[in-house]
Structure 1
């Protein structure tokens, strides 16, 4: 009879091991890839999320029971913050949407290991396009970098 710690032949061990602590990934080690080109000037990325709407209904004759079934899936908008530079790629992409010619691109958010080089996880935003832009707040008494904000919408999200 197998012991509790034995692994069946031909199966890989799970990620959790007794007595082994796995450090969480660092939130500051990420990069953004748009259509295969690394855009390294982003300072923050927020809003990744999926929500499945719940459809509730009552069964006829059994009013005390409320059944729940999955409804439409909604993907949260992703907000990117980046330092204002002379680069025009992001601005030009936004302007195509402003002109009514939405240019959908595949965008990947890569979580990097603590070395800042090795890819540990990836989220792929399929058919993304910019839906909102906020300019950097300007303040003559402030010495911070000028940070702009860009919001992306997308059709589906994949995790690799």
Structure 2
């Protein structure tokens, strides 16, 4: 039997960047890393192509949530606080289940905002208003290292 305390059912993501709490998000896409591979063909070797790992590439992370009172203010205050500075934040994204128990934590390095998109308003298609925050980063922090 699977204990729902440790599984990721009805997950929300709490985002903290340095001293800025950006609140809870219901969607999180882009947590990952890609190893960039360089291929080299060796003269006289027709059976395979050499593949060498060269660097790590991190996709942007997109966080989304329904709009609530003050939700946009948290994000916009953070963006405005670092605009014009070369300051990059260190942050955490904590996945929590419906009971509020932490499931997983990702620590990210050199976080900068890429884009904030507020809700679109359309009277002919009523739906939940959502906002999206897209952030870039330069790797994950793990105990004793940055990857």
Classify the TM-score, shorter chain.
Answer: 0.7 to 0.9
Name stretches of at least 5 consecutive residues in structure 2 with no aligned partner: none
The TM-score, its normalising length taken from structure 1, stands at: 0.71
In 1: Cα distance, 2:39 partner to 2:87 partner: 37
Which residue of 109, 123, 127 maps to 2:106?
123
Asked whether 1:59 is paired with 2:47, we answer no
CA drift at 1:60: 2.8
Question: More relative contact order in 1 or in 2 (CA 8 Å, sep 6+)?
Answer: 2
Query: Which of 25, 28, 35 is matched with 2:18 structurally?
Result: 35
Give the Cα separation in 1 of the matches to 2:121 and 2:109: 33
Structure 1 unaligned blocks of 5 or more: 1-19
TM-fit CA distance, 1:130: 0.5
- C-alpha deviations, 1:39-62, integer Å up to 9, x for none? 334221111111111111122321
Aligned residue pairs: how many? Answer: 139
Cα deviation digits, residues 88-139 of structure 1 (max 9, x gap): 2311322356x432442122111224522x3232111111011112221112
Give the Å deviation of 1:77: 0.3
Name the larger-Rg structure. Answer: 1
Runs ≥4 residues deviating over 4 A: 20-23
Q: Name the TM-score, length of structure 2 as normaliser.
A: 0.76
1:94 aligns with 2:79: yes
